[in-house]
Amino acid sequence: MKKFVFWVMISMVVCGSLSSCKKEKKNAPAGQETKLETLVAPPFDADSAFHFVKAQTDFGPRVPNTTAHDRCGEYLQKTLAKYADTLYVQSFSAKNYKGTQLRGKNIIGVFNPDQTRRVILASHWDSRHVADHDPDPANRTTPIDGANDGASGVGVLLEIARQLSEKAPNIGVDIIFFDLEDHGTPENETSPQGDWWCLGSQHWTANPHIAGYSADFGILLDMVGDKSAVFRYEYFSKAHALSVLSKVWGTAYQLGYGTRFVQQNSNPITDDHYYVNEIAHIPMIDIIHQEDHTGTGFPLTWHTLNDNIENIDKGTLDMVGKTVLSVVYGE
């Protein structure tokens, strides 16, 4: 993940410090007065989510066309199938920026298949093939574990899948693990013009797992495991799905996470949600950790060998998982 789109810088509007739900209701952001008692979600187990993250990184870097990638894909299929009502596996191939044919696999778990109201929860499960932002130049052609960039979102969603299997929500939920997201052109390399990032979501939007598929909205999780993660309004999310942002950020506020889900605009990111919005026309947001002070727009571990399990925080996994679960069960 991901291409940082260098457009004219968006005005950074800070709408005030959001404090915990213990504050008086008048301090809640406008339009975000969802009552906590209406959020009837099952408990989210952060230890379980962390286990799912570690299980992925234990395979090693999940780089397409490698044994580690194949084995992790089999693990994700088996695990998601255990919880979902129906499992779909989209095997496909796509060329990367060098013209190399990559083997990809989108893994889709369907919950409550008979419900017409549906929500997509998604993350990517592949990891970066080069540590092109590592502080040590000698490491910059080495694949990364992608514990935060990929595995953290999948880990949260597997724990959500486990909870969905134990207590069905009122709506249908489709959990999608997109592949071939993180194989875009490395820093300081050139490539032919093209969309080299997010190849799995590009494939899915052109070839949904069910003909004519649609959903009310979607939530993408990307880099949701860093201890210091703060989530802001990603540009394309706000442009295409402002009501979904308000729903999710309002829920986080009511759960006491207002200082981590902040009402502040951030930069446009070419991530899987971009193609779901633009091609499938399903309003989808991106819960993604961005930074202003690192020089890349992302956490210091981004695309480095330090993106490993030692830098995954259970507290952040718990916060994101509880927020998403509460949104789903609040529908």
pLDDT digits (tens, 9 = 90+) for 282-329: 999 999 999 989 999 999 999 999 999 999 999 999 999 999 999 999
In angstroms, the Cα distances linking 303 to 19, 61, 234, 299, 316 are: 32, 12, 20, 9, 20
Looking at the structure of the chain, the number of domains it has is 1
This prediction's pTM: 0.89
pLDDT, average across residues 28-55: 74
Give pLDDT, residue 84: 98
Give pLDDT, residue 188: 87
CA distance 182 to 234: 18
Beta strands at 86-95 and 101-111: parallel, antiparallel or unpaired: antiparallel
By residue count, the chain amounts to 331
Print the domain residue range for 182.
Answer: 3-329
Give pLDDT, residue 40: 84
Give pLDDT, residue 9: 33
Tens-place pLDDT, residues 194-203: 899 999 999 9
In angstroms, the Cα distances linking 320 to 12, 34, 182 are: 23, 17, 22
Q: What is the CATH number of the domain that holds 164?
A: 3.40.630.10
Say whether pLDDT at 80 is over 60. Answer: yes
pLDDT, average across residues 214-222: 98
Tens-place pLDDT, residues 173-184: 999 999 999 999
